[in-house]
Structure 1
């Protein structure tokens, strides 16, 4: 299949492109910079959607960039970087004379309200209680296209990039993988015995192996029966932040009991943005499993063992 990927040069996009190419699909990226196998966003706006079978959007500003002060201007940048690219692709699909078979975006589990007790599946309500949940609601609304000629899939997962200045921080969850994402910044402090939970550590911490996130996206584009919302988390991702820290410490043979105080997180990121690190949700991939997707790394221990090998 011919797959067009918006914002596909990052950690998740690279893994997805490698998997798609390995399965015989042709990948074209939409990027700010021109190059082989790419088109630019300006070219997309000017010339319309190239002929393709599937469109996927992964573009968006890094919310947890500690070098950016959390103010109105940056909030607008976070919002516009997601909505504008999504709207551009959705409009291009709508105007295409040969629309693609499927249109897939990756949003966030921040859609669901943080809770220490509630469990959320794909049918659970959310999206109306803070900046980040409203962001996901607007994001998914921007992706909607009229008609039924193109299947529409939303994968709610974790997309925030890791923050190298404060190791081990990673939004409401983590994508595990070698050579990128959060784990590359977690390893040094944990190997030094300085790892531990964020804040209280009681918040739920959804996770997924990068191979499975790429696998879910590939499954969604290859299987015509898949549509609607899928939770892009592991089946055993009902883990607290403290349990995740302990599992990573155990995998490295190091203690993991030094907490990162919530006051430090709030001082660096601001009180509103710190919510992404200090609160979490218990998210389960009920519909993802029902579509027939088989996880390569359903358990945390095996996932950590693979990326640390």
Structure 2
């Protein structure tokens, strides 16, 4: 597939200071891209959401990536109506702002890439989903994903490719799920969430960042792609593999009632349920995974955390 050759490459990243944004910025800069982050506070190579609304997409920008979103699984935050609204607004409203400003700009942009989730695929023990499944609204998280993608929609005749990446759990050092489970597993106290039978759609951080770069640079890539690894595993299978790579047991499950007590009904669904998802169109687009198997992903992450 032909790679776009750009003399000037400058990516605007909404939510670029988060877990994925930090890693993506590092990759882009290593490939000679300039990066500007949209955040709540101004600073060097930063602009605010208010700047975007009042001044539009800066002239120098060639692609836009949106990663913005309040951390849903922050155990320190109670699932209050206010926090629930923040989770919604930080995804849907920020996405809508970028989409509307891209449409207003009337300039040629290479790509608008919006990261959303896989919660719109209803958990099923028999069905395997790919990008051709539209998804359905069956709980708060699925409704959020659907509205999130609607907000990212720009007309097909706009001078900008639109890519919607539905990502699973992002595995990498320094944040996300690995940071949350690291200490219990290191001390031999780790195990699956609930009974562990639920599927765990996942992707290595390096693969997600490289997939975003691939979408920016390949003119033929557009539409919906599943940002998940090819290997389908359950939460229990992942727990055993991760523990094995640490040379630890995985004997102590985190009880379902405790998950629900800490996170509440809406959020606990992210941990206690999951769908079988394959990246059919992602693979067909020509993208090559660096970490298609969870064992290799875990080994790489553990090595990076330990600095070896």
> With structure 2 as the length reference, what TM-score do the two structures score?
0.92
CA distance in 2, matches of 1:110, 1:11: 20
Give the aligned partner of residue 288 of structure 1: 282
CA contact (8 A) 1:93 1:99 kept: no
CA contact (8 A) 2:116 2:166 kept: yes
CA distance in 1, matches of 2:115, 2:76: 24
* Aligned-residue offset at 1:179: 2.3
Correspondence list, 1:1-309, <5 A:
1-51=9-59, 52-146=61-155, 147-158=157-168, 174-236=169-231, 238-309=232-303
CA distance in 2, matches of 1:178, 1:129: 32
Task: Give the SS at the match of 2:176.
Answer: coil
Runs of 5+ unmatched residues, structure 2? 1-8, 304-308
CA distance in 2, matches of 1:92, 1:231: 25
| Residues matched between the structures, number | 293
* Aligned-residue offset at 1:72: 2.4
Question: Cα RMSD between the aligned structures?
Answer: 1.1
CA contact (8 A) 1:107 1:155 kept: yes
Task: Give the SS at the match of 2:119.
Answer: helix
* Aligned-residue offset at 1:4: 0.5
Of stretches 202-211 and 124-133 in structure 1, the one that deviates more from structure 2 is 124-133
* Aligned-residue offset at 1:95: 0.9
Task: Give the SS at the match of 1:45.
Answer: helix
* Aligned-residue offset at 1:117: 2.1
CA contact (8 A) 1:90 1:142 kept: yes
CA distance in 1, matches of 2:160, 2:92: 20
Runs of 5+ unmatched residues, structure 1? 159-173
CA contact (8 A) 1:205 1:280 kept: yes
Offset from partner CA, 1:59-90 (integer Å, 9 cap, x none): 01111122222232222221111111111111
* Aligned-residue offset at 1:92: 0.8
Give the aligned partner of residue 6 of structure 2: none
CA contact (8 A) 1:116 1:202 kept: no
* Aligned-residue offset at 1:17: 0.7
CA contact (8 A) 1:115 1:279 kept: no
CA contact (8 A) 2:214 2:287 kept: yes
* Aligned-residue offset at 1:181: 2.1
CA distance in 2, matches of 1:97, 1:284: 35
Task: Give the SS at the match of 2:298.
Answer: helix
* Aligned-residue offset at 1:91: 1.0
CA contact (8 A) 1:121 1:231 kept: yes
CA contact (8 A) 2:191 2:239 kept: yes
Of stretches 72-81 and 7-16 in structure 1, the one that deviates more from structure 2 is 72-81
Task: Mark the CA change 1:69 to 1:184 in structure 2 (over 3 Å): closer, same or farther.
Answer: closer
